[in-house]
């Protein structure tokens, strides 16, 4: 018998699950939450969810204790990362700033001279921006925690996984319709395409096509993971949710086709290549050759359907219109110089646009750059080794935990969610080498939430149960089968 914290009828846990789903569904809508008001709303929603879970824990009804214990080191490193980010906004003694970030101290002195005033220096050259980034980082960590604890029961895991696939499918479907309408029929299309006319690329509710592609990498990765794990045998709860669309397998295939079509219409070659590499690598390591073949056949079928739907000429034209961009090597070189000038704590989170002009060479012209188009180099430049190492180590630890857990699980749902989380998060991490999806609040939040969902899936009771000699899977104590 399960305790109150795991009972399927627990109204408090149900409200927390509903709140998480509503938050994830909302975040992509207002331009990926990439505006000050929507970014702070994300922080408030995440804080509310974390507070609701903490309130339950104080009353002796904690959810997901096993997930938190299993990832305690990673969570500690993430807390350290948020603290280091926030420390950049704090005014410190001049000698301390001189020791940790002498280049930042020089920038503060230059600004004080220009303004003919005195400034108490901080590690970050833009303290306000560092505070904003610290709050957003804390919100992402909160969503990871909430997703992990919510996914502690089979029923909640099925509902949240289904909702995430559904949100990705709806976003993709809208992106396809808005693209085909090309600004007609009153469909909102906020996409920025430079000199290209409206509707040239699919952007959905995002400004940038690559950021819609980033969200689709996460949701399509989850969908492919469920398919590769053989999600045809799933709990009745998930089957009931998807009954209107036929069997779960049929519904997942339909979702994959819609998401894959939208991904192609973004013409984001970085996203397509990252998703392909992540799918092949993760499924081979976790599910073996058979699972890898199943996932790659699914991905290839989605691509074939996109070709038949859009036409081969139109599809190849989309992928050929945009490359990775010839200015990325120059941007990488400049960002590396920024990091080397302030390697220990960086220039401060969110300061790239302010510091970049001092390092820009003539090959980049006079255009303004807010991002390095490489999340890792920008992380090093803005937060130095003190911020980058805790964050990257924490994410690597969680991914390793997911890989071990996914191989040990025997039920298709738990294994599929863990595998899908690995595929989606690995794909977005690879895409980060040539873009800045982690600078978009909605995509960063989804990345951490998907990590948390996978964490809950692999730490749920019974995930290491062996398969019986008769070939059947023993009942999962986390919920009815």
pLDDT band at 179 (very low <50, low <70, confident <90, very high): confident
* pLDDT value for 319: 52
- Residue 1 domain-assigned (yes or no): no
- Average pLDDT (466-481) is 35
Give Dmax (Cα) for the chain.
Answer: 81
Backbone angles phi, psi at 9, to 5 degrees: -95, 15
Count the alpha carbons within 13 Å of 359 in the hemisphere toward its beta carbon.
Answer: 24
Query: How far apart are alpha carbons 385 and 408 in whole angstroms?
Result: 34
Coil, helix or strand for 91? strand
Over range 440-455, report the average pLDDT.
98
What is the pLDDT at residue 338? 96
- 332 to 48, 325, 335, 379, 438: CA distances (angstroms): 38, 12, 5, 12, 17
Residue 362: what pLDDT?
A: 83
Task: Summarize pLDDT for 273-326 with one digit per residue, the tens.
Answer: 999 999 989 988 888 887 777 777 777 877 777 666 665 555 555 555 544 445
pLDDT for the residue 411: 86
Confidence of residue 384 (pLDDT cuts 50, 70, 90): very high
Radius of gyration (Cα) for the chain, nearest Å?
A: 23
23-27, 406-410, 459-463, range with the lowest pLDDT? 459-463
Distances (CA, A) of 144 to 5, 97, 449, 450, 452: 19, 32, 5, 7, 4
Q: Is the dihedral of CA 72, 78, 84, 89 positive or negative?
A: negative
Give the pLDDT confidence of 41-64 residue by residue, as tens digits.
999 999 999 999 998 888 876 777
Residue 393, classified by CB atoms within 10 Å of its CB into exposed (0-12), middle (13-18) or buried (19+), is: middle
> If pLDDT is split at 50, 70 and 90, which confidence band does 414 have?
very high
Which tokens hold the place of 472?
């059947």
Helix (H, G, I), strand (E, B) or coil at 65: helix
pLDDT of res. 320: 56
- How far is C-alpha 3 from the chain's CA centre? 32
Contact 307, 261 (CB under 8 A): no
CA proximity to 427, closest of 275, 307, 301, 304: 275
pLDDT of res. 11: 55
Q: Which domain holds residue 158?
A: 12-89+124-330+363-459
Average pLDDT, integer, range 61-72: 84
Nearest Cα residue to 231 out of 157, 170, 153: 157
Whether 416 is in a domain gets the answer yes
Residue 144: both structure tokens together: 């990871």
User: 460 and 414 in contact (C-beta within 8 Å)?
Assistant: yes
| DSSP for residue 90 | S
Q: What is the DSSP string of 163-209?
A: HHHHHHHHHHHHHHHHHHHTT-TT-------TTSPTTSS--TTSSSH
Is residue 14 pLDDT above 50, yes or no?
yes
| 101 assigned to some structural domain | no
pLDDT one-digit tens code per residue, 224-251:
999 888 764 344 445 544 444 445 677 8
In a domain, 99, yes or no: no
- Is it the case that residue 408 has pLDDT exceeding 80? yes
Which residues lie below 8 Å from residue 312, measured CB to CB, with a gap of 6+?
A: none
Contact 384, 64 (CB under 8 A): no
In the chain, how many domains are there?
1
Q: What would the pLDDT profile of 249-284 be if each residue is shown by its tens digit? A: 778 888 998 999 999 888 888 898 999 999 989 988
Position 145 pLDDT exceeds 90: yes
> Is 409 part of a structural domain of the chain?
yes
On whether residue 5 sits in a domain, the answer given is no
**pLDDT at 131 (0 to 100):** 97
Residue 160 covered by a domain: yes
Instruction: Give the closest residue to 178 by CA, choosing from 217, 207, 215.
Output: 207
pLDDT score for 235:
42
Does 107 score more than 80 pLDDT? Answer: yes
Kindly state the percentage of the chain with pLDDT values over 90.
57
In the predicted model, what is the mean pLDDT of residues 114-128? 79
Identify whether the C-beta of residue 440 lies closer than 8 Å to the C-beta of residue 371: no
Q: How far, in Å, CA of 52 to CA of 229, rounded?
A: 33
Three-state DSSP state, 392: helix
Domain-located, residue 193: yes
Output the six-digit token pair for 345. 């704590």
């Amino acid at each position: 018998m399960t305790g109150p914290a795991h009972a399927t009828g627990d109204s408090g846990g149900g409200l927390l699950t509903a709140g998480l789903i509503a938050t994830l569904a909302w975040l992509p809508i207002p331009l990926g939450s990439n505006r000050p008001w929507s970014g702070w709303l994300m922080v408030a929603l995440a804080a509310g969810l974390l507070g609701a879970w903490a309130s339950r824990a104080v009353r002796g009804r904690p959810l997901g204790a096993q997930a938190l214990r299993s990832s305690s080191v990673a969570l500690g490193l993430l807390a350290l990362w948020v603290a280091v980010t926030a420390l950049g906004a704090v005014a410190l003694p001049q000698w301390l700033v001189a020791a940790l970030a002498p280049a930042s101290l020089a920038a503060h002195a230059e600004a004080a001279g220009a303004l003919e005033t005195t400034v108490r220096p901080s590690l970050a050259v833009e303290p306000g921006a560092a505070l904003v980034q610290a709050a957003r980082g804390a919100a992402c960590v909160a969503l990871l925690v909430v997703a992990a604890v919510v996914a502690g029961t089979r029923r909640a895991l099925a509902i949240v996984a289904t909702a995430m696939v559904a949100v990705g499918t709806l976003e993709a479907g809208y992106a396809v319709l808005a693209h085909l309408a090309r600004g007609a029929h009153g469909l909102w299309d906020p996409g920025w395409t430079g000199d290209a006319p409206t509707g040239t690329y699919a952007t959905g509710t995002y400004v940038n096509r690559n950021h819609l592609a980033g969200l689709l990498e996460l949701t399509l990765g989850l969908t492919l993971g469920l398919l590769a794990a053989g999600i045809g045998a799933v709990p009745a709860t998930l089957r009931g949710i998807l009954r209107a669309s036929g069997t779960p397998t049929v519904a997942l295939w339909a979702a994959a086709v819609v998401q894959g079509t939208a991904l192609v219409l973004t013409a984001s070659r970085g996203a397509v290549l990252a998703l392909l590499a992540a799918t092949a690598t993760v499924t081979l390591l976790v599910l073996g050759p058979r699972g890898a073949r199943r996932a790659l056949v699914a991905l290839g079928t989605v691509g074939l359907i996109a070709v038949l739907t859009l036409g081969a000429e139109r599809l190849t034209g989309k992928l050929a219109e945009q490359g990775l961009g010839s200015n990325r090597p120059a941007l990488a070189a400049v960002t590396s110089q920024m990091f080397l000038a302030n390697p220990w704590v960086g220039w401060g989170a969110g300061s790239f646009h302010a510091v970049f002009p001092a390092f820009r060479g003539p090959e980049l012209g006079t255009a303004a750059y807010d991002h390095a188009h490489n999340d890792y180099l920008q992380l090093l430049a803005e937060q130095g080794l003190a911020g980058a190492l805790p964050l990257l180590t924490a994410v690597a630890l969680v991914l390793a935990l997911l890989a071990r857990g996914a191989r040990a699980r025997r039920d298709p749902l738990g294994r599929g969610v863990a595998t899908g989380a690995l595929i989606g998060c690995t794909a977005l991490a690879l895409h980060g080498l040539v873009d800045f999806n982690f600078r978009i609040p909605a995509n960063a939040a989804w990345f951490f939430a998907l990590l948390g969902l996978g964490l809950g899936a692999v730490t749920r009771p019974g995930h290491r149960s062996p398969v019986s000699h008769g070939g059947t899977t023993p009942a999962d104590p986390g919920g009815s089968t």
